[in-house]
Amino acid sequence: MSVVTTQIPQDLHIHTTFSQWDSAVVPQQTPELIARVRHAKILGVSDHFEHFADRFDAYKAEMEKWGLHAGTEVDGSDYVDDAASMDFEYYIYHCRDRREEYQAIERLLDTGKPVIIPHPMVLDTDLNKVPRECYVEINNRYVWRDDWLEKIGPFTGDFRFLIGSDAHQPIWLNQNVARYVATELNIEETILFDR
């Protein structure tokens, strides 16, 4: 059984070996390891959609086996229709600063599943153009690389926020920097699932 005594409330941005072409993912980062380390009370895996779309059933089965919520990270509008047609519990959507990329958000929202906008500064996402039904993520891997006070500060009253590790390796399974940023911004994170 787990020996971790302090768990963070929720982490829905975790990569595993299903992100097979992501060079940052180490072979030890399996769904089983995520489930066994259990660094968060609520755990969701969000592997890159285009890396495992042809193995969707295996992905779903593996997440179910280990009690992990099955999300996916969608790399722009080209993949939205395929991703929306499959039964994910939530979507993390790479929204680059182009009109068709903002438009495609609506097709993900139409699924009725939560849509999370990760690391907006990395992709130059203009949050003014993002529907307010989306959740914005404070991302532990990237948020500290930009001026988060200036870029996210003006939107703290407009969106609901999630905190994510974006972990690709076991030692990344934490949210320390993202939680520091969220505290400084007076953000109360939204918990998406009951357990």
Binding site for Zn ion (CB under 5 A): 73, 166
Name the residue with the smallest CB distance to Zn ion: 166
Give the residue with the Cβ less far from Zn ion, 89 or 166: 166
**From the CB of 73, what's the least distance to Zn ion, in Å?**
5
DSSP state of 191: P
**From the CB of 23, what's the least distance to Zn ion, in Å?**
13
Phi, psi of 45 (to 5 degrees): -100, 140
Give the residue with the Cβ less far from Zn ion, 62 or 166: 166
Give the residue with the Cβ less far from Zn ion, 74 or 182: 74
- Element at 80 (helix H, strand E): helix 80-84
Give the residue with the Cβ less far from Zn ion, 94 or 157: 94
**From the CB of 14, what's the least distance to Zn ion, in Å?**
8
**From the CB of 37, what's the least distance to Zn ion, in Å?**
18
Cα 148 to the center of its chain, rounded Å = 18
**From the CB of 13, what's the least distance to Zn ion, in Å?**
6
Distance CA 131, CA 128 (A): 8
**101 token code pair:** 């990329």
Q: Are the CB atoms for 18 and 52 separated by under 8 Å?
A: yes
Cα 56 to the center of its chain, rounded Å = 18
Q: Are the CB atoms for 47 and 15 separated by under 8 Å?
A: yes
Give the residue with the Cβ less far from Zn ion, 44 or 157: 44
> Pairing mode, if any, of strands 69-74 and 135-139?
unpaired
**From the CB of 169, what's the least distance to Zn ion, in Å?**
12
Q: Are the CB atoms for 19 and 49 separated by under 8 Å?
A: no
Give the residue with the Cβ less far from Zn ion, 16 or 159: 16
Amino acid residing at 157: G
